[in-house]
Amino acid sequence: MSADPREPVISVRDLRVWYGTERGPVRAVDEVSFEVRPGETLGLVGESGCGKSTLGRGLLGLLPEGAKMDGELNYRGEDLLAKSAKQRRAMRGTELGMIFQEPLTRLNPLMRISEHFEETLAIHEKGISKQEIRHRALEVLRTMGIPPTRYRSYPHEFSGGMRQRLMIALALVLRPAFVVADEPTTALDVLVEAQIIRILHDLRQSFDTAFLLITHNLGIIAEACDRVAVMYAGKIVEQGDAREVFARPKHPYTRELLRSTISLSTTGLNYIPGAPPDLVEPPPACHFHPRCPDAMRVCQTVDPVETTDAKGHRVECWLHGPESLIPEGGRTPLERRELSIADEA
């Protein structure tokens, strides 16, 4: 199926993922919606425990046994949730790829790198010759900056940064249209991190690959992503053009995350008090309200409504309305300021 640059590779609507536990369902992903187009990178950012990795694995059908998922999940117009486990497994690698967080847990220490490529290509492309396997493998390794002399080396003979490049090469040798990169630069030094980001950028430019880049690092999002989605307690609370969101964050959670980053001009440390909530029993209405410096009465009682501006900047927060949907008894931003002034008086 040929890629249409106007049509999304992945389209997600109201996707939910939950796990059954003795205490009740864990709502790890709660009514999430987004799209990723060919050659585009969407950054997914948020604190640990907010559901980012669950979302990424759910897109590829890699959830553990017992996990449930519903909503809409379309790959180039095909409903992935309507496919059997066998059909979705056949799409992994050739259509949908995954770059895992820790290469050593994914690379077999008893197999040479050449054997990893042989196994991957032979499984997904029946009848492929060893000569073609070697050609394809060396081509993608060259793209990663790995010399052909290392083709028959073992994983432990590579540095951490080189092993991460190997993971990227194994994910991309099958030329998937959509790749989930789950913390691909974790535990790497800043120089290697910059190299990995440059490689991902070159790959999407050359092959029109669509990426979902999962990370805690806002600097990587700013450097490598076209758009950003901010996730908190299983929900995407803000998304839009990366530069626009970083320059003018609308959700208090996004704003506080940005304030918590450290740069050369940092003179004091900022942090968000508390921790992400228990996803078995999250706070009612806006899940961020117990930690939010701008929380109002309505935030504790009514689910926020998503609003979108002319630039496509989307946010779920009562600070941005619509005020017409705030029920009697809730307090608008204007009312909150008026009460504050009255209290001071």
pLDDT tens for each residue of 24-49:
899 999 999 999 999 999 999 999 99
Residue 137 is assigned to a structural domain of this protein: yes
pLDDT classification of 337: cutoffs 50, 70, 90: low
Convert the pLDDT of each residue in 157-195 to its tens digit. 998 888 888 988 898 898 899 999 998 877 677 777 888
Count of the separate structural domains present in the chain = 2
Q: What is the structure's pLDDT at 200? A: 82
**pTM of the entire predicted model:** 0.88
Which residue type is seen at 98? M
Place of tokens 């996707």: 15
Q: What is the structure's pLDDT at 2? A: 46
Final residue in a domain of this structure, among 153, 173, 193? 173
* Most confidently predicted of 126-130, 163-167, 231-235: 231-235
Residue 69 is assigned to a structural domain of this protein: no
Residue 242 is assigned to a structural domain of this protein: no
Residue 327 is assigned to a structural domain of this protein: yes
Residue 202 is assigned to a structural domain of this protein: no
Is 288 in contact with 253 (CB distance < 8 Å)?
A: yes
- Quote the domain boundaries for residue 314: 264-344
Rounded CA-CA distance 331/299 in Å is 9
Q: What is the structure's pLDDT at 29? A: 96
Final residue in a domain of this structure, among 130, 154, 173? 173
Residue 247 is assigned to a structural domain of this protein: no
Which residue has better confidence, 235 or 144? 235
Q: Is 340 left (phi over 0), alpha (psi -120 to 50) or beta?
A: alpha
Is 175 in contact with 207 (CB distance < 8 Å)?
A: yes
Residue 334 is assigned to a structural domain of this protein: yes
Convert the pLDDT of each residue in 67-91 to its tens digit. 999 999 999 999 999 999 899 988 9
**Facing residues of 212 across strands?**
42, 180
**For the chain, percent of residues with pLDDT exceeding 90:** 59
Among candidates 207, 155, 193, which has minimal Cα distance to 38? 207
Give the 3-state DSSP-derived string for the chain, with helices as H, strands as E and coil as C.
CCCCCCCCCEEEEEEEEEEEECCEEEEEEEEEEEEECCCCEEEEECCCCCCHHHHHHHHCCCCCCCCEEEEEEEECCEEHHHCCHHHHHHHECCCEEEECCCHHHCCCCCCCHHHHHHHHHHHHCCCCCHHHHHHHHHHHHHHCCCCHHHCCCCHHHCCHHHHHHHHHHHHHCCCCCEEEEECCCCCCCHHHHHHHHHHHHHHHHHHCCEEEEEECCHHHHHHHCCEEEEEECCEEEEEEEHHHHHHCCCCHHHHHHHHCCCCCCCCCCCCCCCCCCCCCCCCCCCCCHHHCCCCCHHHHCCCCCEEECCCCCEEECHHHCCHHHCCECECCHHHHHHHHHHHHC
Among candidates 222, 212, 259, 216, which has minimal Cα distance to 243? 222
Convert the pLDDT of each residue in 288-321 to its tens digit. 999 999 998 889 988 999 999 999 999 999 998 7
Residue 1 is assigned to a structural domain of this protein: no
Helix axis angle, 130-143 relative to 190-207, nearest 10°?
Answer: 120
